[in-house]
Amino acid sequence: MKLYTRQGDRGDTSVVGGKRNKGDARIEAFGSFEEVNALIGKAALLAAEEKSGRDLQTDLERIQHELFDCGSDVADIRAEAVRKVDNSTVVWLENRIDEYTEEAPPLQKFILPGGTSLSAELHLARTVCRRAERELVRAGENEDVPVPVLMYVNRLSDYLFSAARIANSRAGKTDVEYERSAKVFTTEKERENKQ
């Protein structure tokens, strides 16, 4: 089997149910999914090396498969297509975000990517994930994009932020605070005391 087909040499690519120009926002989103997936793959390796916890590595490996599912759902432009990403996929991410947020030190200021290599890599994956979300929104201006995929990609960037903070915390590093940041986040206890 040859890896090349020559079918895309004129700037178009196939999706389930048709063809799209490679500059189409939907196709741009595929590219971003691939990019964030590669970054998450590297982060999973770093998690194993930095001993940040098997749970983090396992999460990241699961997310790699879910990103393929997102790409599959977005690639199938048929209205009747059976989707792989659903609400339960989104809820799993939300639960992990909540667990990591609870474990991490309270966040009071804006933070910068850094601390550990793993944390920085997760922040990089987060920024690419945000781009994928913008591309999906743009694609949705002209045709339907599966809503659960949009929800998933939105939550994934939050997950990656939380995971980056956990990577620092578990390595005994503090998050790199933006030095000119005012206190922008309050704890639940601080909100209760104000009432």
Non-local (6+) Cβ contacts of 104 within 8 A are 162, 165, 166, 169
Compute the half-sphere exposure of residue 143: CA atoms within 13 Å on the CB side of its CA: 12
Q: In the prediction, which pLDDT does 145 show?
A: 84
Domain boundaries, given as residue ranges, for the chain:
20-193
Check: CB of residue 43 under 8 Å from CB of residue 125: yes
Task: Kindly report the pTM of this predicted structure.
Answer: 0.86
Structure tokens at 86: 């659903």
Q: In the prediction, which pLDDT does 177 show?
A: 87
pLDDT tens by residue, 65-111: 999 999 888 887 666 667 888 899 999 999 999 999 999 999 888 89
Number of H helices, E strands in the chain: 6, 4
pLDDT tens by residue, 33-62: 899 999 999 999 999 988 777 899 999 999
Distance CA(70)–CA(65), nearest Å, equals 9
**Lowest-confidence pick of 12-21, 38-47, 172-181:** 12-21
**Across all residues in the chain, what is the average pLDDT?**
85
Q: Which of 80, 78, 67, 76 is nearest to 149 (CA)?
A: 67
Q: In the prediction, which pLDDT does 64 show?
A: 97
**CATH class of residue range 20-193:** mainly alpha
Check: CB of residue 128 under 8 Å from CB of residue 70: no
